[in-house]
C-alpha cells in the first residue's frame, strides 16, 4: 500500500460485485473514502454480492465506505448520487462509471426498451454523473473520471470472415452488438470530455479488460473455454488505480485496456488490499 489516494473521495457505481467492488476495495486500500452505488444493497439477490458486503470488506480492511442504493436507469436516482456522496464525505475527487446494462440477443430481436435501457445505463448515466461531479472536481483542484468500457466496442472485421477467429465468433454468436454500440459511444464520449477539459487538471479515461473479467456475472453466464482470456478483477482494479491518481497531463484521454496499460507503466497486478502482487498465473 502506498496511500496514493489518502484524503481523496471516490464514487464507484456498480460496486455491489465484480469490477466495481474490486475497484472500490483497491481504492479504499490506498486511503480513499468510497461511496458505493448499486441497486443491490443487501445480500440475497440472484447473483452473489451486495453493497453491504463490499462496505463490510472495506471496513474489515480498516477502510471507509458508504452505500448509496440507486437504480442508474432512473433519472431521480442518478440526480441524488453525487449530492449524497458529497454530503457524506465533504468533497469529491474521483468518479468511476462502472455500472452497465446488457441484453445479449440477436440485434434483429432487440426491442425499443432494450435500446432505452442500454443507452440510459451505459451512456446517459456516465454523462449525467460526470456533469454532476465536475463542479466538485474543479473545487478540489484536481480530479479523475473513469468510464469502464468493453472490448465489444471494437468493430468486428468485415467479410470475408475467418471462421476460426474468436472475435468473429463472439460477435456473431455472442450477440453483443447493442452492448458494444453503447460502449463505443462511451469511448467517444470519454475522448471528447478529455479534450474539452484539457486546460484543466481533470483526467478523463476509459478502461476495458483485454477480454472478459472473471466476475460473478461473467461466470454465471458461462460458456467460456481455454481459448478465452478471463482476467482477474484485480487487473482492472490496479489499472483503474493508475488512471485515477496520476497527473491528468500524463494519461488523460486514453481509451485503454487493463493489462497492456499496466505493462506499459511497469506496474504489477496487486491484491485488492494492496499488500502484495498477485500470483503470476492469476495475474496473467
Would residue 8 show up in a list of annotated catalytic residues for this protein?
A: no
Let me know if 16 is a catalytic residue. Answer: no
Query: Residue 139 carries which DSSP code?
Result: H
Candidates 150, 215, 252, 258; catalytic one: 150
Catalytic residue among 16, 102, 149, 215: 149
| 187 vs 117: CA distance, rounded Å | 18
Which residue in the list 102, 183, 252, 258 is annotated as catalytic? 183
Task: Out of 16, 179, 215, 258, pick the active-site residue.
Answer: 179
Residue 150 annotated in active site: yes
> Would residue 247 show up in a list of annotated catalytic residues for this protein?
no
SS3 of 37, please?
A: strand
**Residue 284 three-state SS:** coil
Task: Give long-range contacts, CB 8 A cutoff, 24+ apart: 188-191.
Answer: 189/123, 189/126, 189/127, 189/147, 190/147, 190/149, 190/253, 190/255, 191/253, 191/255
The catalytic residue positions are 149-150, 179, 183
Amino acid at each position: 500500500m502506498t496511500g496514493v489516494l489518502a484524503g481523496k473521495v471516490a464514487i464507484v457505481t456498480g460496486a455491489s460485485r465484480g469490477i466495481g467492488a474490486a475497484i472500490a476495495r483497491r481504492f479504499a486500500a490506498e486511503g480513499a473514502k468510497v461511496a458505493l452505488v448499486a441497486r443491490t444493497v443487501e445480500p440475497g439477490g440472484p447473483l452473489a454480492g451486495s453493497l453491504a458486503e463490499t462496505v463490510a470488506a472495506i471496513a474489515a480492511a480498516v477502510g471507509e465506505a458508504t452505500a448509496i442504493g440507486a437504480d442508474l436507469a432512473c433519472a431521480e436516482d442518478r440526480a441524488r448520487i453525487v449530492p449524497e456522496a458529497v454530503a457524506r464525505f465533504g468533497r469529491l475527487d474521483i468518479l468511476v462509471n462502472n455500472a452497465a446494462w446488457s441484453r445479449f440477443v440477436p440485434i434483429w430481436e432487440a426491442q425499443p426498451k432494450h435500446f432505452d435501457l442500454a443507452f440510459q445505463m451505459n451512456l446517459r448515466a456516465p454523462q449525467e454523473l460526470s456533469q454532476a461531479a465536475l463542479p466538485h472536481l474543479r473545487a478540489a483542484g484536481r480530479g479523475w473520471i473513469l468510464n469502464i468500457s468493453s472490448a465489444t466496442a471494437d468493430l468486428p472485421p468485415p467479410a470475408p470472415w475467418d471462421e476460426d477467429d474468436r472475435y468473429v465468433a463472439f460477435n456473431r454468436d455472442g450477440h453483443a452488438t447493442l452492448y458494444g454500440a453503447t460502449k463505443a459511444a462511451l469511448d467517444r464520449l470519454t475522448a471528447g470530455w478529455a479534450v474539452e477539459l484539457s486546460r484543466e487538471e481533470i483526467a478523463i479515461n476509459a478502461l476495458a479488460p483485454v477480454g472478459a473479467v472473471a466476475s460473478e456475472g461473467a461466470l454465471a453466464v458461462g460458456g467460456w473455454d481455454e481459448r478465452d482470456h478471463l482476467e482477474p478483477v484485480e487487473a482492472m482494479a490496479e489499472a483503474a488505480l493508475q488512471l485515477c491518481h496520476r497527473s491528468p497531463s500524463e494519461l488523460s484521454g486514453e481509451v485503454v485496456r487493463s493489462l497492456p496499460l499496466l505493462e506499459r507503466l511497469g506496474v504489477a497486478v496487486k491484491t485488492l488490499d494492496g499488500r502484495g502482487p498477485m500470483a503470476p498465473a492469476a495475474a496473467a
